[in-house]
Chain A
Amino acid sequence: MTETEYQHPLMAAYWKQLDTSFPQVEEVFEDCMAEALSVLTREGLDAYLEAGRVIGKLGRGVEPMLAFLEEWPSTAKAVGEAALPAVMALIWRTQKSPNGRAIAPFLQTLAPVGRRLQSAEQLQHYLDITLDLMERTTGSIHGHHTTFPSPGLPDFLAQAPNLLNQLTLAGLKNWVEYGIRNYGNHPERQKDYFSLQSADSRAVLQRERHGTLLVDVEHKLDLYLRGLWQDGDQLVPYSTAFDEIRKPIPYYDRLGIRLPDVFDDWISPLPPGGGGVGGEGERISGIDRYRAVLAHIVGHRRWSEAQIADNWSPFQRMAVEFFEDCRIETLLIREYPGLRRLFLALHPKPIEGACNPETTSCLRHRMAMLSRALLDPDHGYSDAALNDFAARFHAVMEAGESSTEEIAALALSYVAKTRRQSDQFARVHFDDTVVEYRDDNRQLWKFIESGDEEEAFDEKRKIEPGEEIQGLPPRHYPEWDYASQTYRPDWASVYAALHPSGQAADIDKLLAKHGALAKRLKKMLDLLKPQDKVRIRYQEEGSELDLDVAIRSLIDFKGGATPDPRINMSHRTDGRDIAVMLLLDLSESLNEKAAGSDQTILELSQEAVSLLAWAIDKLGDPFAIAGFHSNTRHDVRYLHIKGYSERWNDDVKARLAAMQAGYSTRMGAAMRHAAHYLGARSADKKLMLILTDGMPSDVDTHDDRLLIEDARQAVKELDQQGIFTYCISLDPKADEYVSDIFGRQYTVIDHVERLPERLPQLFMALTK
């Protein structure tokens, strides 16, 4: 490699760091680096190059190094770059064993494995399984010394992505275990097993392949939350396979709802004494188990209020939790009566008298029985206190929703009433007391000690005074004050300027990345392109006689029936005459990572807008692109990215490439300004698309409704001017306000990572 070949001095420095002379590596180096640069941090990049260098010097040829350089960036994207030391540790162990040949296959499948596992923790489990397999199958053949490599390991590594598509890590572990135990000493059959050739290998795979994976039903659960409960949140899986002692319990916090990564179907135990021989209890599918957990959590989010924990003993808190769980479930069942069946199927039915209070702490058992009784009218328990409190609970609930506080008081008196000395015993009766669909109730408690009051601060304009905007003098627009139903004249100052430029090539790269999508879009575009002449049949007057119809009419006439007089046809040129304005919200929140993606909303918007611009350009509709953000009403910035007279060229792409996010969203003012340009077009149809990720707001406006109402007013004004506005919202919470502004003219994109695909499709559907 001659250093001059790389234009960029940095690239040359990276190449030097890698310190290799494999020509195959040289060929792909630049592509690998491009990807690495986009996903790794500065330190991550150094670690990447260093690891690449080390792997290149293992003496195992070019393959491992190539695989590593190509696979690591996307692996890091999935599981985080911090997982690299763990990966390198496994490589070292392998290198020092007779299994060096397995390093290449290990690295070759690392990226798909990482994508399936999605976290460093899960990847570590995979590495542990791999190491375990390696150590237990290496050199053990017929008692020889450790000189034979593991026969099954390379096959296993090659199959790993495929296996993980079908199994959880727990399932994978069991499947591997079976292979080691049965074929540890048969090299050939071991190979057959781990390459999924042998019949029992597949049978075990089938057996382990149970359960419903969260990743597979996530979308359904999103719909469930939204449709049935008008709620929604990020669903975050945790692994159930490796915490055998303390099974993790669902919970929710700021980052989302935490759920197990897999749920097996649940078969409820038969009622004692009841049911026929060999019969099964009720079967609840994995997805319904997820739904039960989500419903329960929704219940807390709707109706529970955090209580101060400090003054209560752990026993009292436990009782409060049981009562509160039953209260919210009662309310949930009121909404959807079918939930009772679901909850009861999953709720344990502790046997009365199963706990001996002479020797054991029975509080949990009492509480679980009571919990059952509060939900199950046919509980059949005879304990007097239990029945008394069940009646009191129902009486309280009869009156309405009750409250956490009220139900806590009832819980406390239950504890007092039924207290026993033995409740303090160390031995606790646990059987049949865990209600597995309930969360851990961490949100139910607050502790006084850790006062985390939010820091109050004065909102100020975020840029320093003096840093004024260069360019044209501002234009002033009115703003709608919904409280007085009047306009505040000349309220918002809009400064228009040309958007700064970056590298046009960056946008071309984005377009290349979506090559396949572009191809699909192209097909749709062709259908949209105006066909010059369209024939209109059944015309009374027209340019030509429509012979078919004319003859039919004549026959009718001769036969004495009334002929259809519409025997002409005419032609119409089906011109598309649409002018488009794409208005981009460039406020601060765009810098956030899109939920469920490793790209920021800004990056995804950039991709989507590039594709859309490309598509509109292909169609030939005149269009403009502009972005906006604001920092109080005195400073609304409107940035031209593409004008109507410009083609989709490198200048435009360069501006798009430099897109940046900051400040707030004064949407109404920006729309009015954009309308000023779009309104001046002479097209038949005028379409303004607004791409935004949140609701209108600004730092100088404290009443949330104000800018929403103003934007709504702006939509009305635009409608009067013959401009059709349409909003594409990326805010999962948009339902709360977007229809107030845009009526029915909006779409919410739930999966932002699909934006690049959805945006052009939406545009085409809108203009079809």
Chain B
Amino acid sequence: MTDKDQYKVEQEPFYQQQKNEVALYEAAYRNRLPVMVKGPTGCGKSRFVEYMAWKLNKPLITVACNEDMTASDLVGRYLLEANGTRWLDGPLTVAARIGAICYLDEIVEARQDTTVVIHPLTDHRRTLPLDKKGELIHAHPDFQLVISYNPGYQTLMKDLKQSTKQRFTAFDFDYPDAALEAQIVAKETGMDEVVAAKLVKIGGVARNLKGHGLDEGISTRLLVYAAVLIKDGVAPRDACRMALVRPITDDADIRDTLDHAIDATFA
């Protein structure tokens, strides 16, 4: 089936395990339990799912959710054609049919009436009703649903319903500890570990300021960006200002403090 192959993760993605999450995920998958991956932005959630899909050798279909998304965007719809209409499966339906891992990224962004369509797929029924088409799909045995969300953005108004939350097993991700994060940055970019550790140090300074004027600290993703720039020959101080500080804050005092941390770290 060519359809299926196009969703396969071909190359092994680099993923640095933080604890025992790989084994736990494998257990969840063995039993086809739905999985929720929580954690701040850029901490490796998507990378983890991609890696697991590769490891399990299953197709991966990723959907980035947004607030305009409707149930049809997930399930599928009829398209008009010159001589009639034609049904087109949405990504969730495709995944259920071919037995893929379906990864709904930032699920809280989607409207609540959209999120409920996943309910029948996540309990013992493992079915997906296509109301308009009058079809009931029984999910392929390999199918699994994974959602991610960032509790940091969560406000009262943007939170998952209890009835949704309680259908998933969950992983609580966070930025890895300093030594591990330095390894990740180093391996991901080929940067030497000493410089990577310095970047992580600066990341730590920003994370200490979280809740004191910063909504989010500096993510692993941004640390990777900084390392990439440095590898390309950009002076570390410039790279850090550009990749680590400017994106996350406009507050002059915080910027000044982070800039100072950069100078103090890159002697």
B47-72 interface code vs A (CB 8 A; 1 in, 0 out):
00000000000000000000010101
Report yes or no: B267 in contact with A337, Cβ–Cβ below 8 A. yes
**Which residue in B77, B154, B211, B267 is a CB contact (below 8 Å) of A540?**
B77
Report yes or no: B80 in contact with A563, Cβ–Cβ below 8 A. yes
Report yes or no: B152 in contact with A226, Cβ–Cβ below 8 A. no
- Residues of chain A within 8 A (CB-CB) of B80 are 557, 562-563, 565
Q: Which of B28-36, B117-125, B139-147, B251-259 contacts A (4 or more CB under 8 A)?
A: B251-259
Report yes or no: A220 in contact with B256, Cβ–Cβ below 8 A. yes
**Which residue in A336, A748, A766 is a CB contact (below 8 Å) of B156?**
A766
Question: Roughly how many angstroms separate A750 CA and B208 CA in the complex, as a whole number?
Answer: 13
Q: Please tell me if A145 contacts chain B, counting CB pairs below 8 Å.
A: no
Question: Roughly how many angstroms separate A339 CA and B261 CA in the complex, as a whole number?
Answer: 10
The 9 closest A-B CB pairs, nearest first, are: A337-B267, A338-B264, A336-B264, A223-B257, A338-B267, A227-B205, A227-B209, A220-B253, A227-B208
Interface residues of B in 95-152 (CB under 8 A from A): 151-152
Smallest beta-carbon distance B164→chain A, Å: 12
Smallest beta-carbon distance A409→chain B, Å: 30
**Which residue in B68, B155, B213, B256 is a CB contact (below 8 Å) of A767?**
B155
Interface residues of A in 311-337 (CB under 8 A from B): 335-337
B200-225 interface code vs A (CB 8 A; 1 in, 0 out):
01000110110111000000000000
Question: Roughly how many angstroms separate A722 CA and B156 CA in the complex, as a whole number?
Answer: 10
Question: Roughly how many angstroms separate A563 CA and B159 CA in the complex, as a whole number?
Answer: 34
Say yes or no: A748-B211 contact (C-beta < 8 A), given A291-B260, A767-B155: yes
Question: Roughly how many angstroms separate A747 CA and B159 CA in the complex, as a whole number?
Answer: 18
- Residues of chain B within 8 A (CB-CB) of A341 are 267
Report yes or no: A227 in contact with B258, Cβ–Cβ below 8 A. yes
- Using A336-B264, A340-B267 as known contacts, list a sample of 4 further A-B pairs with CB atoms less than 8 Å apart, ordered by residue number in A: A223-B254, A338-B267, A540-B72, A767-B155
- Residues of chain B within 8 A (CB-CB) of A143 are none
A536-547 interface code vs B (CB 8 A; 1 in, 0 out):
001110000000
Report yes or no: B155 in contact with A765, Cβ–Cβ below 8 A. yes
A211-255 interface code vs B (CB 8 A; 1 in, 0 out):
000000001100110111010000000000000000000000000
Smallest beta-carbon distance B20→chain A, Å: 21
- Residues of chain A within 8 A (CB-CB) of B14 are none
Q: Please tell me if A724 contacts chain B, counting CB pairs below 8 Å.
A: yes
| A interface residues, Cβ below 8 angstroms from B | 219-220, 223-224, 226-228, 230, 288, 291, 335-342, 538-540, 557, 560, 562-563, 565-566, 578, 685, 687, 720, 722, 724, 726, 735, 743-748, 750, 765-768
Question: Roughly how many angstroms separate A746 CA and B152 CA in the complex, as a whole number?
Answer: 10
Question: Roughly how many angstroms separate A288 CA and B257 CA in the complex, as a whole number?
Answer: 11
Question: Roughly how many angstroms separate A542 CA and B260 CA in the complex, as a whole number?
Answer: 55
Smallest beta-carbon distance B96→chain A, Å: 20
B237-267 interface code vs A (CB 8 A; 1 in, 0 out):
0000000000000000110111011011111
- Residues of chain B within 8 A (CB-CB) of A230 are 208
Q: Please tell me if B235 contacts chain A, counting CB pairs below 8 Å.
A: no
- Residues of chain A within 8 A (CB-CB) of B206 are 227
Residue of B nearest to A563 (CB): B80
Question: Roughly how many angstroms separate A685 CA and B254 CA in the complex, as a whole number?
Answer: 34
Say yes or no: A226-B209 contact (C-beta < 8 A), given A685-B157, A724-B156: yes
Residue of B nearest to A339 (CB): B264
Smallest beta-carbon distance A253→chain B, Å: 24
Report yes or no: B253 in contact with A578, Cβ–Cβ below 8 A. no
Report yes or no: A539 in contact with B261, Cβ–Cβ below 8 A. no
16 intermolecular pairs with C-beta atoms under 8 Å apart: A220-B253, A223-B254, A227-B209, A338-B263, A342-B264, A557-B80, A562-B79, A563-B79, A565-B79, A578-B156, A687-B156, A735-B211, A743-B151, A744-B151, A744-B152, A747-B211
Q: Please tell me if B162 contacts chain A, counting CB pairs below 8 Å.
A: yes
Report yes or no: B265 in contact with A336, Cβ–Cβ below 8 A. yes
Say yes or no: A220-B257 contact (C-beta < 8 A), given A337-B264, A341-B267: yes
Smallest beta-carbon distance B263→chain A, Å: 5
- Residues of chain A within 8 A (CB-CB) of B159 are 724
Question: Roughly how many angstroms separate A340 CA and B266 CA in the complex, as a whole number?
Answer: 11
Q: Please tell me if B1 contacts chain A, counting CB pairs below 8 Å.
A: no
- Residues of chain A within 8 A (CB-CB) of B260 are 224, 228, 288, 291
Interface residues of B in 152-169 (CB under 8 A from A): 152, 154-157, 159, 162
Report yes or no: B208 in contact with A226, Cβ–Cβ below 8 A. yes
